[in-house]
Chain A
Amino acid sequence: GENVEQHPSTLSVQEGDSAVIKCTYSDSASNYFPWYKQELGKGPQLIIDIRSNVGEKKDQRIAVTLNKTAKHFSLHITETQPEDSAVYFCAALPGQNQGGKLIFGQGTELSVKP
């Protein structure tokens, strides 16, 4: 079955710097890759997603890139702000769609220092 690996597990940056979180997946048939942000005491919230027919997608300060050949996708946050501090999860939707079952990475705890 699908397996998603996420790195790093923790990331600390200075305010204004960029942050990059990387994920790899194993199922080449996976076709949808969302990123979720989880703030303390809250449920994960979708921040950006990308489908397998697109290589890059951008939404203001966040962007996601997908390399299907390498089975690798990344989240890029530019001009980081303290409110970006949270746990970020990547996920993949396997090609054999079992009721929309997402496979999540292990999470990255991002800390943005003022």
Chain B
Amino acid sequence: DTAVSQTPKYLVTQMGNDKSIKCEQNLGHDTMYWYKQDSKKFLKIMFSYNNKELIINETVPNRFSPKSPDKAHLNLHINSLELGDSAVYFCAVKTTREQYFGPGTRLTVT
């Protein structure tokens, strides 16, 4: 079983649309993150959730709204998509030793 999975892997959409990216983990840990990786490969944290509660919100536009229906899921909903939202989005889970990253979702806004 994959420890951290994301769907979809690729997402191509037009400006102004609303889209969601889903993240599921089976590691049994409570803290989950969303990261954005831009075209220059820079990794920047967006949100952190612990046991369905928002812990970190890194000055992300309010068009981005994370939702955690349960401890195993942390989804990312994006409203009114803009060209600058094009990036790879990674979900991660904090275990006792490390942050374990998912495979990423490549979002392309046209």
* A residues with CB within 8 A of B: 34, 36, 38, 41-46, 49, 87, 89, 98-102, 104, 106-107, 109
Tell whether, in the assembled complex, residue B102 and residue A100 are in contact, meaning their CB atoms are under 8 Å apart.
Answer: no
Contact A107 B104 (CB under 8 A): no
> What is the bound-complex CA distance between A6 and B43, given in angstroms?
13
| Chain B residues packing against A (C-beta within 8 Å) | 4, 31, 40-45, 48, 50, 55-56, 90, 92, 94, 97-104
Q: Which residues of B contact A98 (CB under 8 A)?
A: 48, 55-56
Contact present for A43 and B90 (CB under 8 Å)? yes
Would you call A106 and B99 a contact (CB within 8 A)? no
Of B41, B48, B103, the contact of A99 (CB 8 Å cutoff): B48
| Residues of B with C-beta under 8 A to A99 | 31, 48, 50, 55-56, 94
CB-based A-B contact count at 8 angstroms: 54
Specify the main secondary structure of chain B where it touches its partner. Answer: strand
Chain A hits for B55, CB < 8 A: 98-99
Pairwise interchain contact A100-B31, C-beta atoms closer than 8 A:
yes
List A contacts of B31 (CB < 8 A).
99-100
- Nearest-Cβ distance from residue B38 to partner chain A, whole angstroms: 11
Given A34-B98, A100-B48, answer yes or no on A44-B42 (Cβ-Cβ < 8 Å): no
Minimum distance in angstroms from A92 CB to a CB of chain B: 13
- Asked if B41 contacts A106 (CB within 8 A), the reply is yes
